[in-house]
């Protein structure tokens, strides 16, 4: 399996498909690079080089005890980009991966990033604070932590329903897709998954969003049951200068799978623009 080794000795798995301008994907919690397989196949078929890594502690990457925070995630991404010699890259981040990509672009991407796509992304911050009172209460994330430590296998089976909107009347979400969510979740290490909850919910990325100076496309569904639209994409569009916001009617959090054709087409059009 293709891997890089970071400065702290962590082995990061990545997949590398196609040739052309690089598109680099950062996945959500508790998933892996497999979550972007539809977009990678589509874009590689349309002349792009697609790279996606498994975040430390997730998927096929190693499971270090430390480093499960947004700063280290962005540094790991920087090491991947550096070791692969990527330039003029388009970065795509979903959910937690949107936070990772935003921090990478803001802190490490000067002169190396062409464009940014945020999909159902967590910035600026998910938990309610004095500065952002519209966020979710801390108790909501304590509940996620409790689910992970009590019975994470059943928790991920249950979480797949709101993640993909399978709990909505008339849903056509397959059991196979929900099983894939469970499988990816169970591949990750419990320590990384537990720590990452704090990383994706309590990391204030207001300054990251303000520092982004590349063309940015923001995508989110208006039926996202995981990351509130009003507190995520709509705020991102206000904080990132010149960003383009597109809301998908009825789309859930896991829209890269449930609305894969539309998402892939929108990324392609943005990449070529």
**pTM for the full predicted model:** 0.97
Percent of the chain with pLDDT over 90: 98
- The count of structural domains within the chain is 1
Rounded to whole angstroms, the Cα distance separating 251 from 271 reads 22
Model confidence band, residue 1 (pLDDT cutoffs 50, 70, 90): confident
Summarised one tens digit per residue, pLDDT across range 214-260 is: 999 999 999 999 999 999 999 999 999 999 999 999 999 999 999 99
Contact of 185 with 213, CB cutoff 8 Å: no
| pLDDT of res. 270 | 98
- CA separation (Å) from 151 to 98, 186, 191, 195? 27, 11, 14, 16
Sign of CA dihedral 1, 75, 244, 111: negative
> Active-site positions?
95, 224, 253
**What mean pLDDT is predicted for residues 128-138?**
92
CATH number at residue 208: 3.40.50.1820
Residue 170 has pLDDT above 90, yes or no: yes
| pLDDT of res. 163 | 98
Residue 15: which domain range?
3-272
**What mean pLDDT is predicted for residues 19-31?**
98
Residue 211 has pLDDT above 90, yes or no: yes
Rounded to whole angstroms, the Cα distance separating 233 from 236 reads 5
**What mean pLDDT is predicted for residues 173-188?**
98
């Amino acid at each position: 399996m293709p891997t890089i080794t970071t400065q702290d000795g962590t082995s990061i798995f990545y997949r590398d498909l196609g040739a052309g301008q690089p598109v680099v994907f950062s996945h959500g919690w508790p998933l892996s690079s497999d979550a972007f397989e539809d977009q990678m196949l589509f874009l590689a078929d349309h002349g792009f080089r697609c790279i996606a890594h498994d975040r430390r502690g997730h998927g096929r990457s190693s499971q270090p005890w430390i480093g499960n925070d947004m700063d280290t995630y962005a540094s790991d991404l920087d090491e991947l980009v550096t070791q692969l010699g990527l330039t003029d890259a388009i970065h795509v981040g979903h959910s937690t991966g949107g936070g990772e990509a935003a921090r990478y672009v803001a802190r490490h991407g000067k002169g190396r990033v062409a464009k940014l796509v945020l999909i159902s992304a967590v910035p600026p911050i998910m938990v309610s604070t004095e500065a952002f009172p519209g966020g979710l209460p801390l108790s909501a994330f304590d509940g996620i932590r409790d689910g992970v430590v009590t019975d994470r296998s059943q928790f991920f089976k249950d979480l797949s329903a709101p993640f993909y909107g399978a709990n909505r009347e008339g849903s056509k979400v397959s059991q196979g897709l929900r099983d894939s969510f469970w499988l990816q979740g169970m591949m990750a290490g419990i320590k990384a998954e537990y720590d990452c909850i704090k990383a994706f919910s309590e990391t204030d990325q207001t300054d990251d969003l303000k520092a982004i100076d590349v063309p940015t496309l923001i995508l989110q569904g208006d039926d996202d049951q995981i990351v509130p639209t009003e507190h995520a994409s709509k705020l991102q569009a206000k904080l990132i200068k010149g960003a383009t916001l597109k809301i998908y009617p009825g789309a859930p959090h896991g829209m890269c799978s449930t609305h894969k054709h539309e998402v892939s087409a929108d990324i392609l059009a943005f990449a070529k623009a």
